[in-house]
C-alpha cells in the first residue's frame, strides 16, 4: 500500500481547516473526516457504497455547509447579476433557482453556481467551497465596476446547508417535525408542490429556512439553507423524520460517485478557467440574448468571447465513457484512440470511478471531436495498461420518473 | 482501529501485514482498508512469480482511490486468494482473516514493525 491513503477529493489550496456547524454531529455519528477545500468534512459515515445506494433507493442526508453563500441585494441586484454572470437572473421568478456560471472575460469558467431568488431584490449565490473567496472577490469588484445599486454580502459563515436526496426525500421532508410555512411566504406552495429547481421560504422551529428542490445527486431532493446555530437541530430532526424512510447520513465520497453517475460537472475536474461552458456541453446556460433597456446585447462579462465560441467548432468535447473492463479510469488519465500500443492520445479523463449503481466503471473525459461519437471504442491508460472504453451518452444514470 | 490490531502479526509502514507461518500469508491492515473505503478491485501477482520486498506487486482500488500493494517480503508466490479477487469487499469485512491476499514462500523479509510500532505510526 502507498503510505498516503487520503482519497483524491481535495481541491483548492490547503489552509486552516474550518469546521461545519454540524461537526459535533458528524463526530457523534462516527464519520471519517477529510480535508476538503479548507474544511474538515465527513468523507463517509459507514460505507461509500451503502451511502450511495441509500441515496439511489431511499434517502441520504448531506452536510454541505462548506459551500459558499453570498447574498446579493438591492434595487438593481438582478441587473447587476445579469452583467456579472452568464445567465438571465432578472428573468428568474420569485422564489426560484437557476444553475449558472461566473466566467472570465475570455470565457473561462471561474465557478459554476446555483443562484436562488428569494425576493424581488434578493438573491443568494451559492459557490463551490474551493471557489468561495474568488467568487466573493469577483462579485464585489464587478459590483463596484458597474456602479449599480447592488450589495454583495458574504453569508457563508452564518449559513449551514443540509440536503436530503433520494426517492424518499419528499416523504422525509413531509415527516419533518417543526417545518412550517413562512407567514410571509406563498400560501399555495408546499414542499410537495415545489417544482424541481424552485425554492420556498419556510420556517423550522420558528426560524427562517430556505427550502429548495435542488441537488447534485441525480435524485429528487431538497436543500435547506438555515442559520448555522439552528443546523444541529434541523440535522437531527431530519434523521428522525427519515428513520422510517431509510435515511442515512452520507458523506462527500458518496456525493462524488452520485454526481458522476448523474453526469454533473465538478469544478476542478470538468470545469476550470481554461474551459468555457460550451466546452463542457453547458452552452445552454450562456444567455447571449440578454439585452439592455435599449434592446442592445447586454455586455456581461465574457459575452464577446462566448459569442465567438458559440459559433466555432469545438476543439474538444466532454463525453461519457463506459469502462469495458473492471479497472476504473481516474482524473487525469490519458484517453487513447484504441487499445493498440501505438494508439495516439485523444483526450483526458476528468472524473472516473466504479459506478456502484451500474456495476461497471464510468468516466467523463474531454476528447477530440472526431473521437466523440456515441459508440466509439477508445481506451484509457490505467497506470500503464490500456483498458477498453466506449463512448456513451451522459448522464450514465437517469432516475426513473 | 488500532485496538483491533492482532499482536501476532508483523506490519509494514505501508499497511501490509504478514504472519509468521511458512509460507507466510500477506494482507493489508484494517487501518488501510478503512481509509480506502469500499474496495472494489484487487489485482494480485500470479502464482509462481518471484517478488521482491518493497516492490509493487499489485493494486487495491476502492470507489474513491487506488493504492499500490507493496510486498513486505521477498520470495515466490505460492497462492493467491481467489475469493478476494472475486469479492474484494472481503478485505473490508475481514482484513486479517478471509480478506488475506497472497501466500509467499519467503527467502527474506523487508523491514517489519511490531503491532505496537505500527499502532504508534497510525494512532
CA nearest neighbour of A320 among A218, A397, A215, A220: A397
CA nearest neighbour of B37 among A7, A245, A182: A7
Domain-wise residue ranges, chain B:
22-113
Q: What's the DSSP call for residue B4?
A: G
Interface predicted TM-score (ipTM): 0.81
Is 2.40.50.100 the CATH number for B22-113? yes
pLDDT digits (tens, 9 = 90+) for A7-32: 444 444 444 689 999 999 999 999 99
pLDDT digits (tens, 9 = 90+) for A378-400: 999 999 999 999 999 999 999 98
Cell match 479510469: residue?
A329
Distance, CA of A365 to chain centre = 18
| Residue of A3, A5, A382 best to disrupt the B interface, most CBs of B under 10 A | A5
* Cβ distance of A1 and B15 shorter than 8 Å: yes
Which residue on chain B is closest to A251 by alpha carbon? B37
Between CA A208 and CA A226 the distance in angstroms is 7
Count the Cβ atoms, other than its own, within 10 Å of residue A28: 11
* Helix A132-146 / helix A77-84 crossing angle, nearest 10 deg: 110
Joined grid coordinates for residue A64: 454541505
Task: Tell me which chain B residues have a C-beta less than 8 angstroms from the C-beta of A354.
Answer: 40-41, 61, 63
Cell match 457563508: residue?
A156
Angle subtended at Cα A241 by Cα A240 and Cα A246, rounded to the nearest 5 degrees: 85
What's the pLDDT at B107? 96
B18-77 residues touching A, CB cutoff 8 A: 28, 32, 34-38, 40-41, 59-70
* Cβ distance of A7 and B69 shorter than 8 Å: no
pLDDT digits (tens, 9 = 90+) for A128-145: 999 999 999 999 999 999
Q: What is the mean pLDDT of chain A?
A: 94
Task: Tell me which chain A residues have a C-beta less than 8 angstroms from the C-beta of B66.
Answer: 328, 330, 383
CA dist list (Å): A7 to A33, A168, A330, B64, B67: 11, 29, 12, 6, 10
Give B22→chain A minimum CA distance, Å.
23
Give A49→chain B minimum CA distance, Å.
7
What's the pLDDT at A321? 98
A388 at the B interface (CB within 8 A)?
Answer: no
Q: Do the bridges between strand A39-44 and strand A18-19 make them parallel or antiparallel, or are there none, so unpaired?
A: parallel
What percent of chain A shows pLDDT beyond 90? 91
What's the pLDDT at A1? 56
Cell match 469479492: residue?
B87
Give A325→chain B minimum CA distance, Å.
11
What's the pLDDT at A16? 64
| Residue of B64, B92, B99, B121 best to disrupt the A interface, most CBs of A under 10 A | B64
| Residue of B42, B55, B63, B122 best to disrupt the A interface, most CBs of A under 10 A | B63
**pLDDT per residue rounded down to tens, chain B (123 residues):** 444 799 999 999 999 999 989 999 999 999 999 989 999 999 999 999 999 999 999 999 998 888 999 999 999 999 999 999 999 999 999 999 999 999 999 999 999 999 999 999 988
Residues in chain A predicted with pLDDT less than 50, given as ranges, are: 2-15
Between CA A223 and CA A67 the distance in angstroms is 12
What's the pLDDT at B123? 81
B93 at the A interface (CB within 8 A)?
Answer: no
Between CA B58 and CA B45 the distance in angstroms is 6
pTM score: 0.91
Amino acid at each position: 500500500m502507498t503510505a498516503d491513503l487520503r482519497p483524491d477529493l481535495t481541491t483548492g489550496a490547503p489552509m486552516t481547516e474550518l469546521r461545519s456547524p454540524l461537526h459535533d454531529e458528524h463526530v457523534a455519528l462516527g464519520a471519517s473526516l477529510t480535508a476538503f477545500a479548507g474544511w474538515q468534512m465527513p468523507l463517509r459515515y459507514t460505507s461509500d457504497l451503502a451511502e450511495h445506494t441509500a441515496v439511489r433507493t431511499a434517502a441520504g442526508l448531506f452536510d454541505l455547509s462548506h459551500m459558499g453563500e453570498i447574498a446579493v441585494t438591492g434595487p438593481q441586484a438582478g441587473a447587476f447579476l445579469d452583467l456579472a454572470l452568464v445567465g438571465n437572473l432578472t428573468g428568474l421568478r420569485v422564489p426560484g433557482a437557476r444553475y449558472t456560471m461566473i466566467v472570465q472575460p475570455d470565457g473561462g469558467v471561474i465557478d459554476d453556481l446555483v443562484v436562488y431568488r428569494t425576493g424581488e431584490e434578493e438573491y443568494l449565490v451559492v459557490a463551490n467551497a474551493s471557489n468561495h473567496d474568488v467568487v466573493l472577490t469577483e462579485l464585489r469588484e464587478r459590483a463596484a465596476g458597474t456602479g449599480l445599486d447592488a450589495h454583495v454580502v458574504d453569508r457563508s459563515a452564518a449559513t449551514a446547508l443540509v440536503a436530503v436526496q433520494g426517492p424518499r426525500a419528499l416523504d422525509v421532508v413531509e415527516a419533518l417535525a417543526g417545518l412550517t410555512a413562512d407567514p410571509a411566504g406563498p400560501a399555495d406552495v408546499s414542499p410537495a408542490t415545489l417544482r424541481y429547481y424552485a425554492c420556498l421560504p419556510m420556517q423550522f422551529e420558528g426560524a427562517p429556512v430556505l427550502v429548495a428542490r435542488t441537488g447534485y445527486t441525480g435524485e429528487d431532493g431538497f436543500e435547506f439553507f438555515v442559520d448555522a446555530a439552528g443546523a444541529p437541530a434541523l440535522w437531527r430532526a431530519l434523521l428522525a423524520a427519515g428513520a422510517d424512510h431509510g435515511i442515512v447520513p452520507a458523506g462527500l465520497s458518496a456525493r462524488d460517485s452520485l454526481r458522476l453517475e448523474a453526469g454533473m460537472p465538478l469544478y476542478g475536474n470538468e470545469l476550470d478557467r481554461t474551459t468555457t461552458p460550451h466546452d463542457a456541453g453547458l452552452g445552454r446556460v450562456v444567455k447571449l440574448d440578454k439585452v439592455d433597456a435599449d434592446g442592445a446585447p447586454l455586455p456581461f462579462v465574457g459575452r464577446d468571447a462566448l459569442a465567438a465560441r458559440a459559433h466555432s467548432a469545438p476543439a474538444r468535447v466532454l463525453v461519457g465513457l463506459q469502462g469495458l473492463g473492471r479497472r476504473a479510469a481516474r482524473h487525469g488519465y490519458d484517453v487513447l484512440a484504441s487499445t493498440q500500443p501505438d494508439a495516439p492520445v485523444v483526450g483526458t479523463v476528468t472524473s472516473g470511478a466504479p459506478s456502484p449503481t451500474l456495476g461497471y466503471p464510468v468516466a467523463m473525459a474531454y476528447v477530440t471531436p472526431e473521437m466523440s461519437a456515441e459508440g466509439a471504442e477508445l481506451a484509457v491508460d490505467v497506470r500503464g495498461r490500456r483498458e477498453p472504453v466506449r463512448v456513451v451518452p451522459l448522464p450514465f444514470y437517469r432516475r426513473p420518473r | 482501529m488500532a485496538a483491533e490490531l492482532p499482536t501476532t502479526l508483523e506490519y509494514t509502514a505501508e499497511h501490509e501485514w504478514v504472519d509468521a507461518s511458512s509460507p507466510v500469508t500477506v494482507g493489508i491492515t484494517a487501518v488501510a482498508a478503512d481509509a480506502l473505503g469500499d474496495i472494489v478491485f484487487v489485482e494480485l501477482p500470479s502464482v509462481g512469480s518471484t517478488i521482491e520486498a518493497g516492490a509493487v506487486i499489485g493494486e487495491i482500488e476502492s470507489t474513491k482511490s487506488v493504492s499500490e500493494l507493496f510486498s513486505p517480503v521477498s520470495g515466490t508466490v505460492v497462492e493467491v486468494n481467489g475469493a478476494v479477487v472475486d469479492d474484494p469487499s472481503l478485505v473490508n469485512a475481514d482484513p486479517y482473516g478471509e480478506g488475506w491476499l497472497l501466500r509467499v514462500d519467503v527467502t527474506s523479509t523487508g523491514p517489519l514493525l511490531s503491532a505496537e510500532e505500527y499502532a504508534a505510526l497510525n494512532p
